[in-house]
Amino acid sequence: MAKVTVRLRYGVDYRSFKVEEKRLLGFIEPRRVKPAKPLDFMVREALGNPIGYARLRRAVKPGMRVAILSEDNTRICPVRRILPHVLAELRDAGVKRDDIEIIMALGTHRPMTERELKDKLGEEVLEQYTVVNHMWRDPEELVELGRVGRDAVLKVNRHVVEADFKIGIGNIIPHRVSGYSGGAKIVQPGVCGAETVGETHWRSSFIPMEEILGVVENPVRHEMEEIAARAGLNVVVNTVLNRDGEVVHVFYGDYVKAHRTGVEKADSIYKAEIPCKADIVVVDSYPADLDMWQAVKALFPAGLAVKRGGVIVFLTPCPEGVSGEHPEVEEFTYLPIPTVRKLVEEGVIKDLVAAAHIAMVREVLDKAKCIMVSDGLSSSRAYRLGFDYADSLQEAVDRALEEEPDGRILVMSMGASLAPKICDSA
């Protein structure tokens, strides 16, 4: 039987494997929808046709202090292409440059470097406007706004709270914690303190992945929107991208209404039907490649698509290792979920964001064997975390087929962006 070659993304490169064609159940990836209009035109059009809110130039007044919340470098929204149009609207409204501040909504990620800021925002913006990294660990940079969740303290970046008008810029894709990215997520976790972020993530870890990934109306999303309201978020500019990273839709307006409109378009690109669950799923983490903290986003859709007791082959470069900001992941590894919850209750694991991450990944590892292929993580680190390991993608697939001799393979390219829909519920 002739073999076919299958290529998957691996950072800026590709990795491939060969397999008998009869073994392939399917190959899914974000749809190749081409932009119908130039990006600049789409942004101007969105700003001129607000959803559930006034046009930006009419919503702000001279003398207002404006905070623009931007996604960070772990996301792929082309903020540098959107900002000039947003800033032009503010300028037309009479808002002075000195009254505008751009806050990088890091959540609990590491601060962005100057090079990364230039790439994300554009050199001209970085030189002409005040830009700050969200300092989620610094109590002097946070303002308390009451309580949230299980009586956790709600703390939000003071630059955001003190502004008169708040604009969020980000992208919409399926997401394990909140159902989808975009909308109110730019505030929570984007510019909240560690305890607040931890509370929401921990709550999400108790919801099975099939009930939240790609499901927009869920308790975590609603909590994020409540927090965004208390922080005073006014509007968002949200994009939807195709598999090539090109913007195909732009939405501006109320952070709930514009977001929901964007989700409808995102579904047409990122939700993919498959006939049944697969014995083996081969998935790459692109573009969530920076570290394990980001890369595991690809495991959740793979976990939805694989049969219980099956095998996941997980291709990810992870050049920055596991997680520099959350060392508890490597310290405790992907422990059984009851153990994680017990350690949280006992106060042994204090970082709830890390605890949630551990529990969510363990949910996948409890369902299927996972073979990792990564240059950024050694075999010893992978095994310690709870993964099997292979030196090459071909070796990993061959070993998966040894585990499942009659198994069929589903290939998921750009898995971190996908939300598979199973036609057969088996």
pLDDT above 60 for 246: yes
Instruction: Give the mean model confidence (pLDDT) for residues 384-410.
Output: 96
Q: Determine the residue type at 131.
A: V
Return the higher-pLDDT residue of 197 and 150.
197
3-state secondary structure of 406: coil
List, as one string, the DSSP characters of 198-255.
HHHHHHHHTS-GGGTTT-SSSHHHHHHHHHHHHHT--EEEEEEE-TTS-EEEEEEEET
Share of the chain above pLDDT 90, in %: 87
Which regions of 40-83 does DSSP assign to beta strands (E)?
66-70
Instruction: Give the mean model confidence (pLDDT) for residues 73-94.
Output: 94
């983490």: which residue's tokens?
285
Least confident among 39-53, 83-97, 412-426: 412-426
Categorize the per-residue pLDDT at 1 as very low, low, confident or very high, splitting at 50, 70 and 90. Answer: low
DSSP state of 183: G
C-alpha–C-alpha distance, residues 402 and 308, integer Å:
17
User: Would you state the pLDDT for residue 150?
Assistant: 67
User: Would you state the pLDDT for residue 30?
Assistant: 93
User: Would you state the pLDDT for residue 426?
Assistant: 45
Least confident among 30-34, 129-133, 317-321, 384-388: 30-34
Ordered structural domains, the chain, with CATH: 3-30+275-422 (3.90.226.30), 39-269 (3.40.50.11440)
Distance of CA 347 to the CA centre of its chain: 28
The CA–CA distances, whole Å, from 188 to 127, 376, 417 equal: 27, 29, 20
Instruction: Give the mean model confidence (pLDDT) for residues 81-91.
Output: 97
Return the higher-pLDDT residue of 370 and 33.
370
Categorize the per-residue pLDDT at 410 as very low, low, confident or very high, splitting at 50, 70 and 90. Answer: very high
User: Would you state the pLDDT for residue 424?
Assistant: 56
pLDDT above 90 for 149: no
pLDDT tens string 114-123: 999 999 999 9
Categorize the per-residue pLDDT at 137 as very low, low, confident or very high, splitting at 50, 70 and 90. Answer: confident
The mean pLDDT of the chain is: 94
pLDDT above 80 for 196: yes
